[in-house]
Amino acid sequence: MRKTLALLLLPFLATPALADPIPTFHSPEALLDGVYGQIEASLDWENYDWESSFSEHEAFSARLTSLLEEANEKFYAAGDEIGALDFSVFSYSQDPGGMEFTFSDAKTKGDRSIITVDIALEGKAWHSLTFFLVDEGAAGWKVDDVLFPPFEEDAGEPWKLSEYLADPDLP
């Protein structure tokens, strides 16, 4: 019963209204360490401090946040209550349980950086995500885009989050 109640309350506890603001990250690696550290810690949901966490979407750049807000407006107008993203862009899933995350070294030039995150599921290679990050000055480093593998193995092309948000598939 306690687990069921906790699972029902989980979405409400992780909402931005109750969560702390995202810390300022002064390097691309620190941003992804912070996000993935939070994801891994949240898997121990009984002991995780949801109120001190930040929303993953706060890790988005101003540009990506604007695209997400515009896409969400379209979904909400069409009657969808979830919005444009029904998965975590950091795990490419709705449930990161059983996943391990390994980062490549950041390739940084000026205020831009690229980092690849390899995801293993239950010890087996699963997906690689490429994060395009931008230094937004006082706000620190933020995710400006993500390159995802095709939805289905061996089908389709990789796709960018920004392109999807600019022209989302409405429900």
Which residues form the domain of 19?
2-166
| Position 107 in a domain | yes
Please, which residues have CB within 8 angstroms of residue 63's CB and are 6 or more apart in sequence? 134, 144, 162
User: Both tokens of residue 144?
Assistant: 């400006």
Distance (Å, rounded) from C-alpha 150 to C-alpha 118? 15
Question: Per-residue confidence at 12, pLDDT binned at 50, 70, 90?
Answer: very low
| Position 53 in a domain | yes
| Position 171 in a domain | no
Residue 72 has pLDDT above 80, yes or no: yes
- For position 155, what pLDDT does the model report? 74
- The answer to whether the CB of 51 falls within 8 A of the CB of 13 is yes
Residue 83 has pLDDT above 90, yes or no: yes
User: Both tokens of residue 169?
Assistant: 């598939």
| Position 94 in a domain | yes
Domain count, the chain: 1
- SS (HEC) of 34-82: HHHHHHHHHCCCCCCCHHHCCCHHHHECHHHHHHHHHHHHHHHHCCCCC
Please report, for residues 35, 84, 86, 90, the alpha-carbon distance to residue 78 in angstroms, rounded to integers and kept in the order given. 31, 11, 15, 26
Question: Per-residue confidence at 135, pLDDT binned at 50, 70, 90?
Answer: very high
Query: 3-state class of 3 per DSSP?
Result: helix
Which CATH number fits the domain that encloses residue 162?
3.10.450.50
Instruction: Tell me how far apart the terminal alpha carbons of the chain are, to the nearest angstrom.
Output: 34
| Position 22 in a domain | yes
- For position 143, what pLDDT does the model report? 98
